[in-house]
Chains A and B, each alone.
Chain A
Amino acid sequence: MLAHVSKVLHWSAVDGPGNRLVLFLQGCNFACAGCHNPHTIRLCNDCGDCVPACPHAALSLVGGRIAFDPALCDECDLCLRACLISASPMTRQMSVDDVLDLLRASRGFLTGITISGGEATMQAKFVEALFAAMAADADLAGLSRFIDSNGHLGPRGWQRLLPLTDGAMLDIKAFDPATHQRLTGMSNAKSLASARLLQEAGKLYELRYLMVPGFTDTEPEIEALAAFARELGPGLRLKLNAFQHHGVQGAARDWPKMPRQGVEAAAARLRAAGIDNVVIPSVWI
């Protein structure tokens, strides 16, 4: 079994507790206009549009398939701009053993692994196999296993993953169904159900909420967020993220950035509503 992997990081302080190896899987079941990693949404269709866009000749078409030479790449990302379908020619296929090798090589530096994306749970079978292999490996069993997800996974999927998962970061993009549909192209019913299920199982490490001016920073949205957080119960870690332009493509670049004072005001309201553990960004760009 192979995973479509968009990127691997050996150092991340923002994807769960401690330092984490982060595996960004390629492919997402949402199509968020404001996505800050839009090149992770779709799988490459080998159309070849990106080949002439690469100034370093790192891309070519071989037998009708895209071939990528990482040694020639200088990460200028011009190929991503040339892609019309929100995919990337720079992905790679990795086996469970490939990932275990990476983990072993950096073992002493790691607190754990986080599978992100794209949408991690779209390749749930791989995640399940990887986590099971980690748990069965004497050297790697001590690493915590986290998933960063949009929550668009049904209960049967979670039931297979959760026994092997230490924690999940789960995004709620909006509470109003129409707003959610507009922002992501999908319904939020599964995401809300996933948050409840994860909290019930004691595996919801962090609930994340992206504040987008005019969409999700509104009075009713923050009100709904407070109600939902209260419903999930005490001890919830609620992280507010601020919409920024970094990485964003297309029409959403014309949306205003989320100002710091708006996030701080929302955090204050949530705390006043009894949500103790509200976290706001540590860096403002």
Chain B
Amino acid sequence: MLDGSQKLRGIVNDPALSPAQKAHALAVQAENLLPYPALDAETRAALDARVICDMYEGAAPYRPRYVLADFSVVLRKGSCWLELPPPETLDEALNTLMIAYHHVPSITGMPVFIGTLDALLLPFCEGVSDEEIYRKIKLFWRYIDRVLPDAFLHANIGPTDNPVARAILRVDAELGQIAPNLTLLYDPEISTEALLARAVTNITECSKPHIANHPIHAATFDEAGYGIVSCYNALPMRGGASTLSRVNLREVAQRAQGVGDFLTTELPRYVELCARLMQARIDYLYDQSGFFESFLVEEGWIDRDRFTAMFGVFGMAEAVNLLQDKAGLAGRYGHDAGANALGLKITEALAEMVAARPMRNVWRGRAMLHAQAGLSTDADATPGIRIAYGTEPDPVTHVQALAPQHRYYASGVSEILTLDETVKANPEAVLQLAKGAFAAGFREFTANVASNDLVRVTGYMIRLSDVARHDAGEGARTNTTALGAEAARLTGILARKPRVVGLERDAGTR
């Protein structure tokens, strides 16, 4: 194992990192020189054993993990702090956003949410032709990818069909960039069939956008709304998530005698420890970091009462299969009705426990359950509640196996369906699959078309050609490519079933 200064030297001298990438990596190391927020011995032990995991967010939380600034504020009123007048034209609005993004932090050092762009920009599009909107969006899109090259960065569009959403879909397919990641908020009552069809055609060309089941999400949140950010996390608008910690269900199942012991003793124990871990991190952020003394709060971009805590779980597939083994049952998760029912039972138990655990300085006083999409270092646990890689059934059976669990994962559950490239000649099949998934209760629909260069690794997109280049030692312009390359090496994701990786930070050693 490398000692601290060797690690720093390694970063400084790494020819594959740009100076900015080095500065970010050095900052992560510096933060981790500080003592960790105080934890009781039991929580500490569970964290050290990685039964619970803090996502390597760092030792001193000085900004929330995910910030969903309400950019309509700066577009409506301008900003005193940034000395910006309210924009009046589309050019001014885009320019204001480009400035605003640099002042909204997140765990990655770059914004993870750049707004529901059609709602933000439509007021500035009166009298602007579709062709002009397209040209301006194209420049804006290029700027985002080249200046904020992080695939966790996420734009939303919809649910209405409108010229800005159309321009964005056109540009996104044309440029095939990793950033921004894109989600269409789809509502069968509001969105047109044509908009959904256009989105689905884009999926067959570049595996984007991701499509969110808007009615389900809207009912989960309040009037101020929500946004889909990073790896398909659904979070309160004008707030976000202070932290995301997670329970490795596989590790918990290993410690249980059987299903009964798992549900009544081991799972409640680790849910409680994970809640303590999150509370310790949130307390530091709210009571010591000074984050909320910012102009972002003063000017109303964010509200300190609107940050949730994301209670993540992963390794459901392994947990269910282990518990099946302990009960002498052959049925596997994703393929057997009994195993799928056990998965649902675990999810229901988790939802109940999380809803019963009060949290301080958390939106609505409770954490939100999340099927966590994985880290690039997870070699032996399948992300979230997904079916294990390489064993997935056909996409229809796949969706049907998991749909009953979706309603419980209020802050998001990313399930990636891998579709073979024959769908390119028949996008209507994907359209039908998406509609079926939503009707079955899927919160979100994400598909990867097998031969696309652009694929979703965790929730973020990578280019396979970039990965190949990175492995050849040529470096990469984008931050997430290194994570994708690591995930590809450690987890075998490119073998067939793309998976989710969400590592933004220093994973250290286990």
Contact = CB atoms under 8 A, between A and B. Distances in A.
Interface of A: 9-14, 17-20, 105-106, 108-111, 279, 282-283
B436 A283 contact: no
Contacts of A282: 421-422, 424-425
Contacts of B421: 282-283
Interface in B421-437: 421-426, 428-433, 435-437
Nearest to A280: B425
A11 B426 contact: no
Given A11-B395, A14-B426, A19-B396, A109 B420 contact: no
Contacts of A105: 400
A106 B424 contact: no
B82 interface: no
Contact of A11 (B394, B425, B431, B435): B394
Interface in B450-505: 451
B440 interface: yes
Interface string B365-396: 00000000000000000000000000000111
B27 interface: no
Contacts of A14: 422, 425-426
A17 B428 contact: yes
Contacts of A10: 394, 396-397
Contacts of B400: 105-106
B399 interface: yes
A108 B426 contact: no
Given A10-B396, A10-B397, A109 B424 contact: no
Given A10-B394, A19-B396, A109 B433 contact: yes
Closest A-B pairs by Cβ, 3 of them: A109-B436, A108-B436, A13-B429
B422 A19 contact: no
A282 B419 CA distance: 14
Nearest to A71: B330
A12 B400 CA distance: 16
A91 B432 CA distance: 28
Contacts of A9: 394
B422 A18 contact: no
B53 to A, nearest CB: 34
Given A9-B394, A11-B395, A106-B400, A111 B425 contact: no
B397 A19 contact: no
14 contacts: A9-B394, A10-B394, A11-B394, A11-B395, A11-B397, A11-B429, A13-B425, A19-B396, A105-B400, A109-B440, A111-B429, A282-B424, A282-B425, A283-B421
B439 interface: yes
A9 B396 CA distance: 10
Contacts of B433: 11, 19, 109
B236 to A, nearest CB: 30
B241 to A, nearest CB: 32
A34 B424 CA distance: 26
B435 to A, nearest CB: 7
A108 B435 CA distance: 7
B324 to A, nearest CB: 14
Contacts of A20: 429
Contacts of B439: 108
B426 A109 contact: no
Given A18-B428, A110-B436, A13 B423 contact: yes
Contacts of B420: 13, 283
Nearest to B435: A108
A108 B432 CA distance: 8
Given A18-B428, A19-B428, A108-B436, 5 more contacts: A12-B429, A19-B433, A106-B400, A110-B436, A111-B428
B146 to A, nearest CB: 32
A19 B425 CA distance: 12
A171 B452 CA distance: 31
A105 B425 CA distance: 26
A14 B400 CA distance: 21
A17 B440 CA distance: 22
Nearest to A14: B422
B396 A11 contact: yes
Contacts of A106: 396, 400, 436
A108 B395 contact: no
B431 A18 contact: yes
Given A9-B394, A19-B429, A108 B440 contact: yes
Nearest to B417: A11
Interface string B12-40: 00000000000000000000000000000
A241 B365 CA distance: 60
A19 B423 CA distance: 9
Residue picked from A12, A105, A111, A279, most chain B C-beta under 10 Å: A111
B332 to A, nearest CB: 12
A132 B422 CA distance: 30
A19 B398 CA distance: 15
Contacts of B451: 283
A282 B204 CA distance: 12
A14 B420 CA distance: 11
Contacts of B428: 17-19, 111
A77 to B, nearest CB: 18
Nearest to A18: B428
Contact of B422 (A110, A279, A283): A283
A216 B432 CA distance: 36
A106 B415 CA distance: 19
Nearest to B440: A108
A58 to B, nearest CB: 14
Nearest to B434: A109
Contacts of A279: 425
Contact of B399 (A17, A109, A110): A109
Nearest to B336: A71
A9 B397 CA distance: 10
A9 B432 CA distance: 15
B201 to A, nearest CB: 13
Contacts of A18: 426, 428-429, 431-432
A12 to B, nearest CB: 8
A137 to B, nearest CB: 18
Nearest to A109: B436
Nearest to A279: B425
Nearest to A11: B394
A19 B397 CA distance: 13
Contact of A109 (B396, B422, B425): B396
B394 A17 contact: no
Residue picked from A9, A17, A108, most chain B C-beta under 10 Å: A108
A273 B90 CA distance: 50
A165 B94 CA distance: 53
A108 B434 CA distance: 9
A76 B420 CA distance: 21
